[in-house]
Structure 1
């Protein structure tokens, strides 16, 4: 499914207006905020140029004693739950500092300015792991095809150690972490990267998502299946090509919900922390051995079903899923050899930690990850988390695995009469939307800034 081009244009306008406001107040704004949250009598000596990422814009503030702070502003138009996202990231960084050995930034402070929320954290030295492997002369810049297997293994080793450490804390419910009276609890809904993208690129109303936590994996997978249905219902533009395409997308979503229901039902925890956006471009390294010096960008991190943690990593080719081939089978041919290499590195890291006594045999991830390709859980979890790739994944890897050979008419027979009736109503609505070519406005500009 394509992004809604009218929603993209709207968000680009929001970003441009917000960026002008930020530049008008800078460098005085980040200097003032960093000084305020650091405290003391040290003076600011330099404020760097802004660096723009996918969801945030950052700058580094240097002090006369050599200390450096990173000031980060979630971008209006790209981040659509900015306040909630900022609170979640602050909580996760604090938890990870207290309960893991991961080198994460230390939170200095947070608050709001006229353009929304901000975070102040310590600056971590290092070079992005992805940058160490990238050939900048290629268009677009990507991993150098001539990079050695030895360097790939070093990169995988660093990532494996991060993933193992993140998997160790366990929880009894699914959602976002908060600290209450010195205890860490899951008391907020899990805010996912996909929810942000559905609002940003699909123009779904932000209020459409629930605000509860989940006690079982089954409950949460049903929620994710419902989000796929909401995507089809609420995105107006660039969503269906014709009536047949609409029916096929409707069928995929109802059948996916059936798979989720049959697979999980009321499966309890324990559950693990999971970062939707953990990848080599969020890991800082130094030296020839790619020693990890920092792990950053924890904004879309929450306690998730164990299946997310146990699924093979999607980033092994150092590409985002959206950059994969249109033919996912062709992607799989490139991915499988890298997965075997990564699993070997991961098993080695697990064995080392078990021998040191820093993890137990039952905490191994490698066997689960290997099985996730064989039993289809890799594709099931990716489809649950990637709405704009959902249809390609479902029809390529899930439909026949769970329902066997058959036509669309055969699949239609798997729906209830009520679901079949709803299908024809939806087809009529989506065809009308195709002709209208307009964008629903769910929030005022003040509400968008406050969200």
Structure 2
């Protein structure tokens, strides 16, 4: 499925209007916010121009004593759960700072301005790891060099450290009465995209945390069906395409019912957007100075942690080849290099007694390519890649050989009845070419 172009255009319209309001109040606004949350007598004297990312706009405020703070604003129109994601990210950064060795920004404060939430945090000196990589990437993934190996080593340390805290529920971290616990739903990057460019009503998602992995996988499978139901434009090509997409989502739901072998946990922290472009480094050895952008981090089923990292080729999954088997040709040698580095780090940490044998990830990540965990988890997390992944790697593995019509026998009567309803509905939407509004402007701003 492609993005709903009308939903994307609406989001861009909101963003431009919001950005103009932000510009009118700057630089006074970021100077004021940074000063409010930085204790001491030093005065804020300078502010940089805004840097625009995928979901946030940031600027750096410098104080007269040399201290620097980052003021970050979630972008209206691109971030669709701005208040919730800001609250979640603050909790995660504070947890990581207290409970792990991962260097993260210090949260100085947070609040709301006239058009949404903001965070003020400490500035971390360093260069983006992705920028340092640009001149070292090779078109041949079998090749490696000191920059690539240093990158993989630094990322392996982060992934391993993130996996060590364990929890008994799937969801978002909160601190209550001095105790960290999972109390809220997992807010994911995919949920943001389903609302932003799929136009799913925000209140269609589950509101609770989950006590089993399969329960959460069922929620992710339900999101796939909601996506097909609600996205009006650029969703299906014709009746046959619609039927194929619906059948895939029903069968994925069957797989999700009993997918996890660690159904009751323990569960681990997982960051949807952890990748080299969110890591700050310094020096020729690419020492990790800080890791940023923790907004879509939550406690997830163990399978997410055990899946091989999607970022190993230093590009987003959406930029992979349409033929995913060609992607595998490039990905497999890079994964081999990463796993050898990860295993050496695990060996050393076990020897130093900073982890135990059961906490190893390297073997499980290697197995994830063989047992399908990698592809199931990616399909669960990436709605706009779902169909290609399902038909390439999951359908035959779980249901054997057969034509599309053969798969109809695997659907329940209710699913078959719904199929006969959804096909004419989607065909009607194709002709209407309009966008359905689910929120008022004020609700949109407050979300």
| 1:354 CA displacement | 1.0
Pairing 1:202–2:160 present: no
Structure-2 residue corresponding to 1:106? 106
Where does residue 74 of structure 2 map in the other structure? Answer: 74
Say whether 1:255 aligns with 2:254.
no
SS across alignment from 1:332: helix
1:325 alignment partner, one of 321, 326, 341: 321
Change (3 A) 1:265 1:152: closer
Deviation at 1:117, TM superposition (A): 0.1
* TM-score, scaled to structure 1: 0.97
Offset from partner CA, 1:133-181 (integer Å, 9 cap, x none) = 114xxxxxx9454885221111000000000110000000000000001
Larger mean CA deviation between 276-285 and 353-362 belongs to 353-362
Task: State which of 267, 273, 280 in structure 2 corresponds to 1:271.
Answer: 267
Q: Residue 310 of structure 2 aligns with which residue?
A: 314
Superposed CA RMSD: 1.2
Structure 1 segments (4+ residues) deviating >3 Å: 142-148
Secondary structure class of the residue paired with 2:76: coil
Structure 2 Cα separation of the partners of residues 90 and 265 of structure 1: 31
Counterpart position of 1:428: 424
2:137–2:148 Cα contact (<8 Å) kept: no
SS in 1 for 2:280: strand
Match of 2:376 among 376, 380, 401: 380
Distance 1:436 1:19 in 2: 31
Aligned to 1:54: 54
The secondary structure found in structure 2 opposite 1:178 is strand
TM-score, normalised via structure 2 length: 0.98
Q: Aligned pair 1:17/2:14, yes or no? A: no
Does structure 2 retain, via aligned residues, the 8 Å contact 1:130–1:143? Answer: no
The yes-or-no answer on 1:281 pairing with 2:241 is no
Aligned to 1:32: 32
**Which residue of 170, 174, 186 corresponds with 2:170?**
174
1: CA distance, partners of 2:357 / 2:188 = 30
**In structure 1, C-alpha distance between the alignment counterparts of 2:145 and 2:343, rounded to whole Å:** 17
**CA displacement, residues 251-280 of structure 1 (integer Å, 9 cap, x when unaligned):** 000000101113238820100000000000
Matched, 1:212 2:212: no
Q: 2: CA distance between counterparts of 1:278 and 1:322?
A: 15
SS at 1:292 equivalent? strand
- Is 1:398 aligned with 2:394? yes
Mapped partners of 1:74, 1:321: distance in 2:
23
Structure-to-structure mapping, 1:77-156, within 5 angstroms: 77-135=77-135, 143=137, 145=139, 148-156=144-152
The whole-number CA distance in structure 2 between the counterparts of 1:148 and 1:419 is 49
* Residue pair 1:5, 1:237 contacting (<8 A) in 2 also: yes
Distance across 1 between alignment mates of 2:196 and 2:138: 32
More divergent stretch after superposition (258-267 vs 213-222): 258-267
Aligned: 1:303 with 2:299: yes
Native 8 Å contact 2:260 2:303 kept in 1: no
- Secondary structure, aligned partner of 1:65: coil
After TM superposition, give the deviation of residue 40 of structure 1 in Å: 1.8
Segments of structure 1 that go 5 or more residues without pairing to the other structure are 136-141
CA distance in 1, matches of 2:374, 2:310: 9
Q: Do the aligned residues in 1 keep the contact of 2:262 with 2:302 (CA within 8 Å)?
A: no
Give the deviation of 1:46 after TM superposition.
1.1
Give distance in 2, aligned partners of 1:397 and 1:346.
26
Q: Distance in 2 between matches of 1:438 and 1:94?
A: 43
Question: Which residue of 2 is the match for residue 138 of structure 1?
Answer: none
Q: Deviations over 1:274-315 (max 9, x none)?
A: 000000001111111110000000000000000000000000
